């Protein structure tokens, strides 16, 4: 009796939720994670929140945020080396670090999905982070928010080229899907070209 052959092995999946501080990516992440199975979730903000809770604090200190970022980075690289599907969230403003990570993920055979959330103006992000702080969320310096916003957008075209699929949302008012990338069709507009926000128009 001949041995039964198994089908081709499914590749591990890397799902990335990215966007500037205050864009609303965490809200989108929580919605989509609850609706689908996308592996282990690695989120530095959640790690920092647990640290703060364990210490009896309302919000994480700067030291806790740093420790959480280091822990999340180590988890991501470990899961990558193991070939285990996982999801992570990032501002994606550090091009050298994330480019290295995405290139490594491709070389490890991961199928890569990107959910990108942003706004039309960094002033919106600054306002939202300030509102978040009033409700116990962690603070980010306004100048840093604006700087990261522009760095994230500058890196976006390079990052997009490495992903198999992508969904890009403008969340200036509510999360509107404006662009998507598929394996078959590449990057296409979901709304009429004249309705695209300026940041999305530069990608088409």
Per-residue pLDDT, 57: 82
At residue 1, the pLDDT reads: 43
Question: Does residue 190 sit within a domain?
Answer: yes
Tens digits of per-residue pLDDT, 100-150? 999 999 999 999 999 999 999 999 999 999 887 776 666 788 999 999 999
For residue 185, give its domain range. 13-40+84-201
Per-residue confidence (pLDDT) for residue 38, from 0 to 100: 64
What beta strand segments (E) does the chain contain?
13-18, 40-42, 86-90, 111-118, 165-170, 176-182, 186-189
Q: Report how many domains make up the chain.
A: 1
Distances (CA, A) of 100 to 17, 39, 47, 109, 203: 17, 22, 23, 15, 22
Which three-class secondary structure state does DSSP give residue 120?
Answer: coil
* Residue 56 counted as domain residue: no
In this predicted structure, the answer to whether residue 37 has a pLDDT above a threshold of 80 is: no
Residue 34 covered by a domain: yes
CATH of the domain at 184: 3.40.50.300
| Residues of the chain above pLDDT 90, percent | 65
CA 133 to chain centroid? 21
* pTM, to two decimals: 0.87
């Amino acid at each position: 009796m001949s041995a039964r052959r198994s089908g081709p092995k499914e590749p591990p999946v890397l799902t990335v939720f990215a966007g500037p501080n205050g864009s609303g990516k965490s809200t989108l992440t929580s919605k989509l994670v609850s609706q689908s199975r996308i592996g282990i979730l690695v989120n530095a903000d959640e790690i920092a929140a647990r640290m703060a809770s364990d210490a009896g604090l309302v919000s994480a200190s700067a030291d806790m945020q740093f420790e959480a970022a280091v822990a999340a980075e180590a988890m991501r690289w470990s899961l990558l080396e193991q070939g285990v599907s996982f999801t992570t969230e990032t501002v994606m403003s550090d091009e050298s670090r994330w480019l290295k990570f995405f290139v490594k993920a491709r070389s490890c055979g991961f199928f890569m999905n990107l959910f990108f959330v942003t706004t039309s103006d960094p002033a919106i992000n600054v306002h939202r982070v300030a509102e978040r702080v009033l409700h116990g969320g962690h603070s980010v310096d306004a100048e840093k928010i604006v700087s990261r916003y522009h760095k994230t957008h500058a890196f976006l075209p390079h990052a997009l080229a490495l992903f198999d699929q992508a969904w890009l949302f403008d969340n200036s008012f509510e999360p509107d899907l404006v662009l998507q990338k598929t394996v078959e069709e590449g990057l296409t507009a979901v709304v009429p070209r004249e309705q695209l926000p300026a940041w999305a128009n530069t990608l088409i």
